[in-house]
Amino acid sequence: MLSAFMVGAAICVLATVACGLLRLVLATAIADRILSVQLLATGTMASLLLVDAARPTGTGAGELAIVLAMLAPVAAIGFAGARARSQGPRHDGDGP
């Protein structure tokens, strides 16, 4: 009974992730894209943990969620770095 509830919760979380994916595709601002990627990572981690907890023997999804948790900030840093490179060097008086 509890495992069916957890799988249902994972499906609800994945529906939210799908909405975030739509936002990622339609977003024009880089900040919206960064937040959408973070939402995708968080939602995917939550659904993986729910599925792993629902199975009595474990599926290894928990380990995959941990790896995703470590890689999600790298994606945000990559977006920020790409934005900085596309805007060129800053000339605001800071630095040499």
Going from the C-alpha of 58 to that of each of 3, 26, 49, the distances in angstroms are 12, 36, 10
Pair of tokens at residue 36: 């959408």
- The 10s digit of each residue's pLDDT in 57-72 is 877 888 888 888 888 8
> Which carries the bigger pLDDT value, residue 29 or residue 15?
15
- pTM of the complete model beyond 0.75: no
